[in-house]
A and B are shown apart, each in its own frame.
Chain A
Amino acid sequence: MIIAERKPFAEIKAMLAPYKKILIVGCGTCVAVCLAGGEKEVGLLASQLRLSLGLEDKRLEIGEITVERQCDLEFLRPLCDFTADYDAIVSMACGAGVQFLNQLCSLQPVFPAVNTTFIGVNNEVGYYTEACRACHNCYLGITGGICPVTMCPKGLLNGPCGGTVNGHCEVDPEKECAWSRIYHRLELEGRLDNLREILPLHPHDRTTTPGTVIHPAYKRRYGLNE
């Protein structure tokens, strides 16, 4: 899932300073799981703004709503009926949700309330780690299910760098070296031969942004050759 962290309150408050009536829109999927932008966090932010501005004798009218997924038109379109009355919208979704909402609400500025950090996993409550760089060319079948692009800070494809010390990473000594993990996993599985071949340079042309994927079954619908 997408992991995000809420922006510092002072930054959000400063962005909203010119406005009198705002709508905070939460997202019920990834950012809700990582406790950054779900329904509860919408309520918290609204309360924080009311308290803080109240202490300064300022008034800000705040609407609150959370949709299932801000990155999905099906859930986002009904929102359009609510947004017209507001001066500004605050999205608590990841950057994808913020931009999708911005596309739909063309009359008001849309502000992000979270910093989108990575694609990761939920280890335990409140503890998330990065797991995928969405590199368009998955190596996990070769590398024992451990991603060298993500788990090695240098993204090295052909083995460890010279900075590995006692199987730990040069960049973060608390972390195991990704290539030590890959090697041991493949050794356990009897698949070390996987590492004999030199992996070629990564095809970065595939990662040119913004990416587009059209499912093969829908190519005709979107006017593409099947």
Chain B
Amino acid sequence: MSKLRETLGAGAFPVVVELKPPKGTGVDEMLAVVKALAGRVTAFSLPDNEHARMRLSAIAAARLVQEAGGEALVHFTCRDRNRLALSSDLLGAASLGLNNLLLVSGDYVTLGDHPQAKPVYDADSVQLLQIAAGLMDGHDSAGLALTGSPAFFLGAVVIPEAEPLGPQLMKFEKKLAAGAQFFITPPVFDLDKLRRFREHLPETPVKLLVSVKVLGADEVAQAAAGQTRQVYSLPPDLVNDLAGKEPEDILAMGVKAAGRLVRQIRQEKLADGVYLKAKGRTDLFTQILEAAEL
């Protein structure tokens, strides 16, 4: 069963928090977040070698999260595995009770910490959705029958602020056709952009989780210097307010802004739930939830 699916289905505004699988085997810090927040949030999200930086396996981390009492949302990137490995790991995840998936292409290897690694991309994110949907239907990507099939809840990414938007919407429709059951956006800071994007959504309801992020001092400094290059925009007023402040003050102000955004997204029904990115820190997640009155 998937609490994430049930909560989304019931219109009960799920909250997913993003954890940071460690670079190493020290999982205590990651699991402490689960123990502290399992009763307050819907699911814990485990990125798969996020930003092409090698970390502990998302599948292993997700299983540990579930053993610690949380529900996991596992990311699968197309960057590091071919169709055999992806399919086999999808079945492996299902056998470990991991059914919430976020299927992504994945940041390119040269942007990460193993820039000389071979990028795979045997499948793209649309094809990976098809592979996962096929497994749910009882067959693999070669059309061969499975013994026992998984019951995934398939997530994909959509970029509301994509520029140009046309290619993004084309891919969004393909992801829907391929079997995506819910979507997660990158961080949104400017809700007007989200409102405008919603006008492009199909009439058929699509479950959407919007990411809300707490910026760190390094990100603020880069944005203030005009060096940031993201798929989301940062309002200049926000950057001006945060620039030059002490790192902990930046986080504290970011937490308040995140809380306000979550509250507004919920009140205006701009999304069906939220996905919080706050450095994997319990204290920051808790403060956002309090600021958002959740």
Contacts and interface: CB of A to CB of B under 8 A. Distances in A.
A153 to B, nearest CB: 6
B194 interface: no
A198 interface: yes
Contacts of A201: 83, 122-123, 127, 141
B107 A163 contact: yes
Contacts of B178: 198
Contacts of B121: 154-156
A97 B107 CA distance: 36
B231 interface: yes
Contact of A159 (B79, B126, B230): B126
A161 interface: yes
Contacts, number: 93
B230 A154 contact: no
Contacts of B83: 201
Most buried by B among A153, A158, A166: A158
A180 B164 CA distance: 7
A192 B171 CA distance: 12
A206 interface: no
A78 to B, nearest CB: 40
Nearest to B142: A201
Interface of B: 78-79, 83, 104-105, 107-108, 110-111, 119, 121-127, 130, 141, 157, 159, 162-164, 166-168, 170-171, 173-174, 177-178, 186, 229-231
Given A159-B174, A163-B231, A198-B177, A154 B124 contact: yes
Interface string A91-133: 0000000000000000000000000000000000000000000
Dominant secondary structure at the A interface? loop
Nearest to B128: A201
B174 to A, nearest CB: 5
Nearest to A178: B167
Nearest to A154: B121
B105 A187 contact: no
A179 B105 contact: no
Contacts of A196: 173
A171 B111 contact: yes
B108 A159 contact: no
Contact of B171 (A159, A184, A187): A159
Give 3 nearest A-B pairs by CB, closest first: A159-B171, A158-B126, A183-B167
B127 A157 contact: yes
Interface string A30-58: 00000000000000000000000000000
Contact of B111 (A156, A170, A180, A183): A170
B167 A180 contact: yes
A184 to B, nearest CB: 8
A136 interface: no
24 contacts: A154-B79, A156-B125, A157-B124, A158-B126, A160-B162, A162-B104, A162-B231, A163-B107, A163-B231, A164-B162, A164-B231, A165-B163, A167-B164, A170-B107, A170-B111, A173-B229, A180-B167, A183-B167, A187-B166, A192-B170, A198-B130, A201-B83, A201-B123, A201-B141
A6 to B, nearest CB: 22
